[in-house]
Amino acid sequence: MAGSRRESGLKRAHFVEPRVAALLLLPQLAILLLFFFIPSIRALAQSFLLADPFGARVQFVWFDNFTALFRSAEYHESIWVTVWFTLAQSILTLAIAGVLAFATDRVIRLRGTYKMVLLLPYAIAPAIAGILWAFLFNPAVGPIAHALHTIGIGWDPNLNAADALILVTLAATWKHICYDYIFLVAALLALPPSLLEAAAVDGAGPLRRFFLIALPMISPTIFFLTVMNFVYGFFDTFAIIDAVTRGGPAGATNILVYKVYQDGFVNLDLGSSAAQSVILMLSALTLTLLQFRYVERKVNYDV
């Protein structure tokens, strides 16, 4: 194919000097070293230690921190909460963003305004967004909670584990829809209009056009967003949990990343916290590899 030949020609012509390539990579590698490799190695080392927070006394305890975690009922619960939360959040975000993107793609009047309104939540700091949601749904003073009570739903995220999990899932989803939305809108814009028009001429309605033509063609974007949503759910939802439920009630929303923070920075149990972050890192890595290995096969890049 013409494209790939041009690409390899480019490589040979411009990168005969490997030192230039290394130099260009250096800034990125330096950042990775400082903010990823060094902290990861230190976390790995810490996960085998029992240490007082000031570092005055340190004991090497082999895998004690890990075995303690696998024995702990709270940790098992945290794993399940994380799985549910991340799955629900990913699917919900993608579905809603997909509908909105397809809908605004068809709107002609005020398209810019719609898009701007839809993007607003992304500009709000997660902690502020979290407090907003916590207040709106607070069973004692929140207007939405009040509305739910009047229609006979006994909403109380302080005392009901399911309510709390629903609340943080909704808040996290709301915050992340914009991200997925931008990518989906861009992907839809890149579709050749002739294909969709041809389908319309052949009598396919908007839904058929979406599911049979648009969806398969934007599958690379959807795959990318699925990976990003998982990463978001795993790591970036910390601030929302902290503001909305603080992991409660009784650990109902205590996702793994929040537990890492809670045990490390509040409870000062550095060994356990490091062990948890190592496990979290490995599972995120495994998950992403699996996604690339199995899901990516179904993705069609040949548009």
Partner 1 sequence: MTFGRNLLLGGVLLGLAAAPASAQRVEVQWWHAMGGVLGERVNELVKGFNEAQDKYTVVAVNKGNYDEVINGTIAAYRAKRHPHLVQIYERGFMTMLLSDAVVPVHQLMKEQKYDVDWSDFIKPVAGFYTYKGNLMTMPFNSSTPILWYNKDQFAKAGFEKPAATWQEFEKQLYAIKAKGAAECGTALANDYFWSLIENYSAINDQPFATRSNGFEGIDTEFVYNKTKVVGQVTRLKKWLDDGVLQLAGTGLSPQQLFASGKCATYISSTADHGAMERNATIPWSATFLPHEADVATPRNSTIGGATIWVLKGHKAEEYAGVAAFFNHLASPRTQVWWHKVTGYVPLTNAAYKMARDEGYYTQNPTREIAVLQLGRGTPTENSMGFRFGNFTQTTFALRQEMEAVMTGKKQPQQALDDSVRRGNEILRQFEKLNQGKY
Rounded CA gap, 238 and 49, in Å? 25
- Shortest Å, Cβ 235 to partner 1: 20
CB atoms within 10 A of CB 30: 10
Rounded CA gap, 99 and 299, in Å? 20
**Closest CB to partner 1 among 33 and 190?**
33
Identify which range of 95-103, 159-167, 189-197, 202-210 contacts partner 1 by CB under 8 A.
Answer: 159-167
Q: Write the DSSP symbol of residue 207.
A: H
**Cβ distance 253 to 165 under 8 Å?**
yes
**Cβ distance 130 to 240 under 8 Å?**
yes
**Closest CB to partner 1 among 160 and 226?**
160
Residue 22 in contact with partner 1, rule: CB under 8 A: no
Among 67, 113, 267, 286, binds partner 1 (CB under 8 A): 267
Rounded CA gap, 53 and 85, in Å? 31
Identify which range of 82-90, 212-220, 266-274, 291-299 contacts partner 1 by CB under 8 A.
Answer: 266-274
Residue 138 in contact with partner 1, rule: CB under 8 A: yes
- Shortest Å, Cβ 142 to partner 1: 7
Identify which range of 97-105, 138-146, 217-225, 275-283 contacts partner 1 by CB under 8 A.
Answer: 138-146
Interface of this chain with partner 1, residues 43 to 82, rule: CB under 8 A: 50-57, 59, 68, 74
Residue 27 in contact with partner 1, rule: CB under 8 A: no
Among 249, 283, 295, 299, binds partner 1 (CB under 8 A): 249
Residue 161 in contact with partner 1, rule: CB under 8 A: yes
Interface of this chain with partner 1, residues 166 to 225, rule: CB under 8 A: none
Q: Where are the alpha helices (DSSP H) in the chain?
A: 2-14, 18-32, 38-46, 64-71, 73-106, 111-123, 126-136, 143-150, 161-189, 193-201, 206-208, 215-217, 219-231, 238-244, 256-261, 270-290
**Cβ distance 223 to 296 under 8 Å?**
yes
**Closest CB to partner 1 among 229 and 253?**
253
**Cβ distance 263 to 276 under 8 Å?**
yes
142: left (phi over 0), alpha (psi -120 to 50) or beta: beta
**Closest CB to partner 1 among 228 and 270?**
270
Among 121, 126, 142, 233, binds partner 1 (CB under 8 A): 142
Q: What angle do helix axes 161-189 and 111-123 make, rounded to 10 degrees?
A: 130
> Which stretches of the chain bind partner 1, using CB under 8 A?
50-57, 59, 68, 74, 131, 134-142, 157-161, 243-246, 248-252, 262-263, 265-269
